[in-house]
Each structure stands twice: as C-alpha cells, then as structure tokens.
Amino acid sequence: MVATLEIRNLHASVDGEDEMILRGLDLTVKKGEIHALMGPNGSGKSTLANILMGNPAYEVHEGEVLLDGENLLDLEPDERSRAGLFLAFQYPVAIPGVTLGNFLRHAINARMKAEDPDSKGIPIPKFARLMREKMTQLQIDHAFAGRYLNEGFSGGEKKRAEVLQMAVLEPEIAVLDETDSGLDIDALRIVADGVNALTGPDLGVLVITHYQRMLNYIKPDYVHVLYEGRIVESGGPELAVELEEKGYEWIRERHEALAHFQA
C-alpha cells in the first residue's frame, strides 16, 4: 500500500483556547507526491504542521489524521516520527549541551530500539560515515556535528540542519515548514537539491511556503491555499504563480463572496 497522510475535517486551537485556528481542514498527501501549502501570515500553516507532529501546545477538537490508516492523533510525537512522519520546523529550538551529531545518533538508535529492543544501536563508524555523506551533500561544514543543536546557528544553518535531519532519518511523509525562508539564493538551491535528492516514490512532501520561489526548485504536483482555517483553493503549480502575482487579496474576496453566497 502507498503510504498516505489523510487529514479529515480537522478543527484545532491553541491548547486551552476556544478560538479555532483550523476549522475543518481536509488534505491528503500520498507517498511520491509533492504538495505545496500556501497562505497568508497567521492562517494556521504552522499550527497544522505542529498538530501533525503532536505538539502538546495545540489541541485538536474535531477530525482525524491518519497515516497509512493508523490514527496519528493517538500517538506521541516520537511514535509519529518512528511511524515515518517528519517535520522540518519553521523555528527549530536550540538545545544547549546536546550536539547535533549525538542527537541524530540517539534518533537513529531510538528507531532501531523500537524495532528490536535488544538493538545495540548504530555503530559509531557507520553513523560517522552517514553523517559525513549527508553533510557533504547539504554543504554543511562537518564541524557542525559537534556543535550544540541549533545554538548560535544562523537562520540558514538551522534550515539546513533540519533538512540534514530529514536526510538522515528518511521519513515517508515530510512536512517542510517555511524551510526556504531566510535562505539566500545559493542556500535555497542547496536545500532544494537536498530535498529533491530525497523525493521520489518513497517520500510524500508537504511544502509550506509563502513564496513561489521555493517551488521553482521543488516542483509541486498540487498547490493548496489555507485561509481562515480551511483549504479554500487547490490546483496545480500554476496556482502558486497566480498567488505570487496577485497576492492573497483575491482569495479573500472570493472566499468572502462565497461565504456571503452560502449565507
């Protein structure tokens, strides 16, 4: 069966709040597909990403999220990760004292242990080889493996480190939340190449972005627009170009007209 992420009628808020950020969101991402999710600031894109990953700061009120038919919402974030979901964070948090290398080794070992409790984890030389290979590919200085996770990283370095983690963990469904923002054109190309190297029949991607720029490098099969907590437009790559040219104003107008008509 092809791995599929299915989001059905999702309603969600910040934990403990009444005001819904997501209000009946539907979206399906299959392995092998690239979807782009666009939308104005504050429309709930990161909220969606974090709810998918299981961030306890948010609360789901209604709807379901399935990964290969399994209810993701019942799982802890680590279980979701091991089930094949990955989130490249818009704002990765710094963790002092934990090096990037050590962290990723633990992440791999956690996967191995979940599969086989007696697993000794990945041998260090093998892990070092893997890291070197992936870091070279993403043009990350190898010394970064010894740096504390995200601490003192520039915006672009954080984004590259996120993609490095994705490359090492080889997810089935990856959500990239604004992985392009803050990158200069060279860095953008490197990151996009890195993502493209991972795409293919074994990976489904949801690219969250403001700008069509990223989509010149990572070519989406589908483009969706999030507005007022729902997907209000879906289309092919041409939709992204249209949004770039016209902005979100026409979405708002059309959506309001529609809402008015329905009322």
Ligand X SMILES: Nc1ncnc2c1ncn2[C@@H]1O[C@H](COP(=O)(O)OP(=O)(O)OP(=O)(O)O)[C@@H](O)[C@H]1O
- Which position among 13, 43, 46, 212 is part of the footprint of Mg ion (CB under 5 A)? 46
CB proximity list for 262: less than 8 A, separation 6 or greater: none
Q: What counts of helices (H) and strands (E) characterise the chain? A: 8, 12
44 binds, among ligand X, another protein, Mg ion, none (CB under 5 to 8 A by kind): ligand X
- Which position among 53, 163, 164, 208 is part of the footprint of another protein (CB under 8 A)? 53
Cα 11 to chain centroid, rounded: 19
Q: Based on CB atoms, which residue is closest to ligand X, 25 or 218?
A: 25
By CB under 8 A, tell whether 143 contacts another protein. no
SS3 1: coil
Site for ligand X in 24-53 (CB under 6 A): 39, 41-47
By CB under 8 A, tell whether 101 contacts another protein. no
Q: Please tell me the distance from the alpha carbon of residue 5 to that of residue 21, in angstroms, as a whole number.
A: 20
Give the DSSP H/E element, type plus range, for residue 167: helix 155-169
Q: Shortest approach of another protein to residue 202 CB, angstroms?
A: 18
Number of residues that bind Mg ion (CB under 5 A): 3
Q: Give the footprint of ligand X on this chain (CB under 6 A).
A: 14, 21, 39, 41-47, 57, 90, 178
Q: Which residues form the interface with Mg ion (CB under 5 A)? A: 45-46, 90
